[in-house]
Amino acid sequence: MVSIEKKTANGASADAGARPLAVIAVTYSPGRHLQELLASLPQSTDLPTWLVCADNGSRDGAPEQAAREHDNVEFFPTGGNIGYGAAINAAVEHLRPRKNKGEINQEYFLVVNPDVQFAPGSVDKLMQCAQSAPRAGAVGPRIEEADGSAYPSARQVPGLINGMGHALLGDVWPNNPFTASYKKGADMDTRRTAGWLSGACLLVRWEAFDAIGGFDERYFMYFEDIDFGDRLSRAGWDNLYCPSSVIFHDQGHVAGKYNRVTVPAHHESAYRFQRDRHAKWWQAPLRGLLWAGLKARGAVKRLEGSRNA
């Protein structure tokens, strides 16, 4: 394999300029989306990049093909479907020797879903935001969906009461006060700090990542970004939303579909998040009510899924 110093996204030689920015994409049979991500990456930054496909067991061959076709892409199998946060942690440790040797950017790395595309200059704008805010542990862009709307990717951390109300009523009563409170402050046009940022695209400061021990690997999927952002805040770091940076997220192939794996995983992660933060004995009745409500919501989702099958 050719040395990393000679592999860049924009054709520049890394040893003639800036160190490559490491980009981590967790892949699981990403199909065409990975190639679209790679096609959009060069226009997003003037920096050279080094993209690691932290692969959780793809069967479509897309990550391997990308590594063969692109000099700045590396295929890194994690050993199985270990979850999103665990795959990021594994890729970070895989990259750490290169970071320590100065072969990649030593301040930041980028985490990205394989089904996003970058707008021109978007990564450079994330870097500019991060460099202007020394306590920014993570910086996230404006995420636009297929219809042009902004996904609420920078939100407050859900408390137990609001989280419970949102979980129980969000589907049947979208404008309920619990959901409204959870989404409060989701101004998607203004640069600001948030409780957490979407893990679909995050520029992460190495120092902040190490300070909190990375992602909590107990979260197989869902809530790993909420937990990550909350722990950053508790450790004194900021989650900075940077709307001048824009990416596009294609969720159409999964949105709105019941899945017998993803829905229970979401509910389990939601309960774990609240249980960890509300573990006092006198909060047990509320935890029990939340668990029962999530189970009921899961039953409704299963029923809807069977009807739509």
Interhelix angle 160-169/284-308, nearest 10 degrees: 20
Least confident of 137-151, 184-198, 221-235: 184-198
More confident of the two residues 45 and 177 = 45
pLDDT, residue 72, reads 97
pLDDT, residue 246, reads 98
CA distances from 16 to 10, 20, 47, 52, 288 (A): 13, 11, 11, 22, 59
Least confident of 20-29, 226-235, 247-256: 247-256
More confident of the two residues 222 and 13 = 222
Residue-wise pLDDT for 49-92, tens only, equals 999 999 999 999 999 999 999 999 999 999 999 999 999 999 99
More confident of the two residues 259 and 2 = 259
What residue ranges define each of the domains in the chain, with the CATH number in brackets?
A: 21-153+188-252 (3.90.550.10), 159-183 (no CATH), 259-308 (no CATH)
Rounded average pLDDT over 294-309: 62
pLDDT, residue 7, reads 37
pLDDT, residue 166, reads 72
Residue-wise pLDDT for 119-169, tens only, equals 999 999 999 999 999 999 999 999 998 888 899 899 988 877 877 777 667
Residue-wise pLDDT for 89-114, tens only, equals 999 999 999 999 999 999 999 999 99
Residue-wise pLDDT for 169-190, tens only, equals 766 677 888 777 766 657 899 9
Taking the C-alpha atoms of residue 171 and residue 156, their distance in angstroms, rounded to an integer, is 19
Task: Tell me the residue type at 48.
Answer: P
More confident of the two residues 254 and 128 = 128
Nearest to 15 by CA among 45, 52, 48, 38: 48
Q: What is the percent of the chain where pLDDT is above 90?
A: 60
Pairing of strands 150-151, 108-112: unpaired
Chain centroid offset of residue 77 CA: 19
More confident of the two residues 1 and 158 = 158
Residue-wise pLDDT for 81-90, tens only, equals 999 999 999 9
Task: Tell me the residue type at 30.
Answer: P
Least confident of 24-28, 163-167, 250-254: 250-254
Q: Which DSSP letter does residue 48 get?
A: -
pTM as predicted:
0.85
Phi, psi torsion values for 225, nearest 5 degrees: -75, -35
pLDDT, residue 236, reads 98
Residues 233, 179 contacting (CB under 8 angstroms): no
Residues 7, 83 contacting (CB under 8 angstroms): no
pLDDT, residue 280, reads 80
Mean pLDDT, the chain, whole residue set: 85
Taking the C-alpha atoms of residue 10 and residue 219, their distance in angstroms, rounded to an integer, is 35
pLDDT, residue 302, reads 62
